[in-house]
Amino acid sequence: MRVVQRQSRSHLVGFILATLILSVGAGLSGCGLSGCALLGGGQPSAQQLGTRDGFDWSEVRTAHFTIHYEPEASGAGRLDEVGRDAEESLDRILRFLGEDGYERPLDLFIVPSRERMVDLLGVQTNGIAFPETGVLVFLVNDGFRISARHELLHVVAMNVWGKPDLWVNEGVAVCVSDVWYGHPLHGLARHLQEGEHRIPLTELTQKFEKQDDRISYPLAGSFVQFIEESWGRNGVRAAWDGGMDGLTRFTGKSAKQLEDGWFGALDAATADRIEYP
């Protein structure tokens, strides 16, 4: 799963590859990695995708979303399920962010296969978010669906709170999803940090894009969860606005002290019977 921000065309491709996310929600997960030819390299609007050659869209509306779908495609019968998940995800995100509502347009396009995703965007992936235009595109068919929560967090939070460091952006998105591949975040982080996949906090936050996504994303989610548990929303916002520098200023603790506190929280978690990655 991916989130795209405004960049030059060459930077856009690199950013997309760097921000690949194995997104998890509602017990379902998926990912994809490819090059990108996103309608000339920009962030597509709903109008652009709605008039894309080779697509005949219908749409339904929920309280906050316009859902675009192909009537004859596999997955068209799951619109109620998709809409319910989107609205529940938005409610969870707004509560996490401490926001009363979200008024910007949100357009959710669903396609039945990776091949149709390529036809629409030039990207082979299960899902992607465009915060600038409020557009999300997901793969949904009769046998497969991923939750909107992770990618929707990127869209909503980046429009409400601004653009953060990558580790915070992905960490918050994982944290708000509550689990990673069905595993509680602290339990999974303990499993990873006690094994061969350990990543020191300084490397996790300073070189996030260089890490294995399968490891760095759940670790960042666990660390953000620790911040929320310890300092509440204000602590998370301090990290969002200022990265580790902002977090250390807010908490009055050094990066080493924050890491020690996080590891203490992991020690209290259960990592029994976790097999990952």
84-106 mean pLDDT: 98
113 and 143 Cβ atoms separated by less than 8 Å? no
Q: Helices 149-160 & 166-177, crossing angle to 10 degrees?
A: 130
Domain residue ranges of the chain, discontinuous segments joined by +: 2-160, 166-267
Q: What is the structure's pLDDT at 68?
A: 98
With pLDDT > 90 as the criterion, what percentage of the chain qualifies?
A: 83
pLDDT at residue 198 is higher than 70: yes
Q: What is the pLDDT of residues 29-68, one digit of tens each?
A: 333 322 223 444 589 999 999 999 999 999 999 999 999 9
- Mean pLDDT of the chain, nearest integer: 88
Classify 22 as helix, strand or coil: coil
DSSP string, 178-223: -EETTEEHHHHHHHHHTTTT---HHHHHHSGGGS-HHHHHHHHHHH
**111-144 confidence digits (pLDDT tens):** 999 999 999 999 899 999 999 999 999 999 999 9
Class of the domain covering 2-160: alpha beta
Q: pLDDT tens digits, residue range 222-258?
A: 999 999 999 999 999 999 999 999 999 999 999 999 9
pLDDT at 3: 56
pLDDT at res. 2: 57
Kindly report the CA angle at 204 between 175 and 161, in degrees rounded to 5?
Answer: 50
Cβ contact 11:168 at 8 Å: no
In this predicted model, which residue has the larger pLDDT, 7 or 271? Answer: 271
Q: How confident is the model at residue 19 (pLDDT cuts 50, 70, 90)?
A: very low
- What pLDDT score was predicted for residue 4? 56
- Report how far residue 4's alpha carbon sits from residue 59's, in angstroms, rounded to the nearest whole number: 24
Q: Residue 96's pLDDT is what?
A: 98
Residue 27 has pLDDT above 60, yes or no: no
pLDDT score of 40: 46
* pLDDT at residue number 35: 25
**Strand partners of residue 236:** none
Least confident of 16-20, 97-101, 128-132, 187-191: 16-20
Q: Rounded to an integer, what distance in angstroms lies between the CA atom of residue 247 and that of residue 263?
A: 17
pLDDT tens for 145-156 read 989 999 999 999
Six token digits for residue 132: 């600038």
- Quickly state the pLDDT bin for 74 (edges 50, 70, 90): very high
DSSP string, 24-90: EETTEEE--------GGGSPPPHHHHHT-TT---EEEE-SSEEEEE-TTSTTGGGHHHHHHHHHHHH
Q: What pLDDT is attached to residue 33?
A: 26
